[in-house]
Structure 1
Amino acid sequence: MQVRNSSSRYGAVSIFMHWGVALTVFSLFGLGLWMVGLDYYDPWRKAGPDLHKSIGLVLLAVMLLRVLWRFVSPPPPALASYGPLTRLGAKLGHLALYLGLFAVMIAGYLISTADGVGIPVFGLFEVPALVSNLPDQADLAGVIHLWLAWGVVVFAGLHALAALKHHFIDHDATLMRMLGRKA
């Protein structure tokens, strides 16, 4: 399989980042929902959020690399069978997913740094608290983080349904291209 994207399909780097981000987002969502229900004496009460934050910061780095990769290796053009509204919808949908993901991660960062303390990443290094002590920072960022996370997960589910629609109803190569197969 090719490393870079071509005019007919995605390359290994794009495919790996796409599916890796998808798996990570859904895993973080599940972990987040699970950890907020932990009681005070649960041994995961500290470990769960620490893991969630560490994975979230690694995801932020991967997303930054993913945006950079789109400039280094542009995605294949939309299929010729797409009409103008489908092309526009695809562009706007991808933009919404990217912006939503970055907004969720920024809100998560603002929750974690509200008290002016940095965020340790798997105990290897610490991301400093650059923004802290804003009025109601943790509470407001927490509400935003929760709603954006729901929005991203629902929108990602719709994104998956659209890919399945292209595959099973339209019989086009949209899904196959993201699986590394030729259009």
Structure 2
Amino acid sequence: MAFRNTHTRYGLVTVLLHWGVAVTVIGLAILGLWMTDLSYYSPYYRSAPFWHKSIGIALAAVLVLRLLWRWINPKPAHLPNHARWEVRLASAVHGLLYLLLFMIVISGYLISTARGQGISVFGWFELPALVSGLPRQEDRAGDLHFWSAMLLLGLVALHALGALKHHFIDRDDTLRRMLGLRPRASLENSTKEK
């Protein structure tokens, strides 16, 4: 697999960034929902938020890196069998995914810094509280964080269903390209040559 994207396939960096962000987002959502039920006496009361915040800050950095990579390394052309409405819907969903991810990260930061405390990132350094003390900052940011995450998970499900539709119904290379696999046509040609 090539390091960079080509006209027909995604490169290694794009594939790793895509799946890394996907796994991280799902893991953070599970951790976040689990954390809300922890009592003060739970042994995870302090450690779960620490990991949630640290991984969330790391995710923010990876999102910026991913957008920069996308800007300097254009994505492959759309497959010829994609209808215009599918291309537009996919673009809209991708745009919303990025918007929601940044809303979640920013609102998470605002929750954590509402009382003027910085955020320890893996114990390596502290991200300062640049914004704090806004009226009901923690509550408002918390609502935005939760509902943005729920909407994001819904869009992730739609995104996954679209990929499965292309793979199993349309039988095209949409999902194969993001998995870093060879196109179906090259597999069929290699089978015929044997």
- Structure 1 residue 128: deviation in Å? 1.0
**Structure 1: which 4+ aligned runs deviate by more than 4 Å?**
none
* 8 Å CA contact retained: 1:118, 1:129: yes
Structure 1 unmatched ranges of 5 or more: none
* 8 Å CA contact retained: 1:110, 1:131: yes
- Structure 1 residue 157: deviation in Å? 1.2
- Structure 1 residue 182: deviation in Å? 3.4
The whole-number CA distance in structure 2 between the counterparts of 1:7 and 1:90 is 18
The whole-number CA distance in structure 2 between the counterparts of 1:175 and 1:147 is 28
Counterpart in the other structure of 2:178 = 178
Letter in 1 for 2:27: S
Structure 2 unmatched ranges of 5 or more: 184-194
The whole-number CA distance in structure 1 between the counterparts of 2:35 and 2:118 is 20
- Indicate the SS of the match to 2:4: coil
Mean CA deviation greater in 165-174 or 79-88: 79-88
Greater radius of gyration (CA): 2
Counterpart in the other structure of 2:62 = 62
- Indicate the SS of the match to 1:120: strand
Q: Deviations over 1:25-77 (max 9, x none)?
A: 00000000111101111111010001000000000000000000001111112
Which fold has the larger relative contact order, with Cα–Cα distance below 8 Å and residues 6 or more apart in sequence? 1
- Structure 1 residue 161: deviation in Å? 0.8
* 8 Å CA contact retained: 1:114, 1:131: yes
Pairwise CA RMSD of aligned residues?
Answer: 0.8
State whether structure 2 residue 152 is matched by structure 1 residue 155: no
Letter in 2 for 1:74: P
- Structure 1 residue 90: deviation in Å? 1.1
- Indicate the SS of the match to 1:75: coil
Counterpart in the other structure of 1:40 = 40
Q: How many residues align?
A: 183
Letter in 2 for 1:68: L
Counterpart in the other structure of 2:113 = 113
- Structure 1 residue 181: deviation in Å? 2.0
Q: Residues 6-155 of structure 1: matches in 2 within 5 Å?
A: 6-155=6-155
The whole-number CA distance in structure 2 between the counterparts of 1:160 and 1:153 is 10
TM-score, normalised to structure 2's length?
0.92
* 8 Å CA contact retained: 1:8, 1:182: no
- Indicate the SS of the match to 2:171: coil
Letter in 1 for 2:111: I
% same residue? 53
* 8 Å CA contact retained: 1:107, 1:141: yes
Counterpart in the other structure of 1:167 = 167
- Indicate the SS of the match to 2:114: coil
